[in-house]
Amino acid sequence: MKTKLSLVSAAVLSATLLVMPAVSQAAIPLAVDGQQLPSLAPMLEKTTPAVVAVAVEGTHVSKQRLPDAFRYFFGPNAPREQVQERPFKGLGSGVIIDASKGYIVTNNHVIEGADKILIGLHDGREIEAKLIGTDAETDIALLQIKAKNLTALKRADSDELRVGDFTVAIGNPFGLGQTVTSGIVSAMGRSGLGIEMLENFIQTDAAINSGNSGGALVNLNGELIGINTAIVAPGGGNVGIGFAIPANMVSNLVSQLIEHGEVRRGVLGVSGRDLDNELAQGFGLDTQHGGFVNEVMPDSAADKAGIKAGDIIVSINDKPIKSFQELRAKIGTMGAGAKVKLGIIRDGDKKAVTAVLGEASQTTEAAAGAVHPMLAGATLENVDKGVAITEVAQGSPAASIGLLKGDVIVGINRNNIEDLKELKAELKDSHGAVALKIRRDNNYLYLVLR
């Protein structure tokens, strides 16, 4: 691969050469007329010690239902499932966010299922890590190590990022060792990719490859702006489209993991959709950014704050939002009890309201959407031998697949489920289309999730 000058260096060098005599050089000089060229090296010398390698070992357990013919052959005491265990190893990256306490952030998918997590520091030390907590819906995990002389990254305000800002990705791709790439912010608020349940990604063209997951995306001050998480890679390698979880969202999640050992997700209590051109024209609006509120759940945080169906939510804590998905992701990563200032448009007038977020529970629409995107809009509640649908929001994904109030989910494909926990586990282990077995009145039917 050919060496390229960083974007910052290229821009400054071009400006310099316009006002200075041409100098014939066989290679890029360290200085021109005594003026040293800009370099990312001084910033990286301070930053790279905070990015670590994460090596994991564990055992994958897979269950396969035995066909009825085999169970008949082996007798009535034959097991219903065949269990297989397969050892695995994996590599990823992590970021030290607190040097004194040894806290390290990485991706949940990097450490998921691991029995042992080993941290490789920049100075060559290897230290076993303790898992503090994870959040699968946002793909964040918090680790802790006991070590001295650690370096941590300072967090930037990721809400201040703009398209075109320079970025630097640091990680351990392909197990090669620490690698640094540079680029720009290509887009903000990316969602609808199906990578995670709650998506509000920073998109960057800084090269991100396998093994970069959990690594740092920093600005030119060496401040953390995001955690590298995913790539669009049809051929299996970098094609210039990578995604990072914004640092502000990470900070909200980490504070909950430290305090509770889990994420206690905040809930606003609305269902809705992105504001599009058709809706904007129908409501006579001059904006096409925001979240349109289809329905407000009774006694929810939104209801108590005075939000009404037909409102368009355009900002959170004075920061503009582009879509309902961005609203959902930001609210979902704030803790229960958080006080949130929401900017809304109602009948063409701008208003500001304050909501105190409720806590996601087994009976919230937000919890349903976290279980599976096509269940969003349904209110779930555990009942005897199943999960009941107590409400279905009009126009929601749950309504579109045919769920009705009073339905009870009793199985996934050929497996029975008894509660929301089992429903979530079955859907997580399933790939492609899955069939929900529904008890409706005294009959059974299947509805397909894709």
Structure tokens at 218: 């920093």
Q: What are the residue numbers of the active site?
A: 109, 139, 213
Lookup: tokens for 180: 């640094």
Q: Locate 188 and state its tokens.
A: 């903000």
- Torsion angle, CA of 396/400/402/403, rounded to 10 degrees? -20
Q: Give the list of residues 6+ apart from residue 314 with CB closer than 8 angstroms, or none.
A: 287, 289, 290, 291, 320, 321, 343, 344, 345, 350
Query: What are the φ/ψ torsions at residue 330 (nearest 5 degrees)?
Result: -70, -40
Q: Rounded distance, CA 6 to CA 10, Å?
A: 6
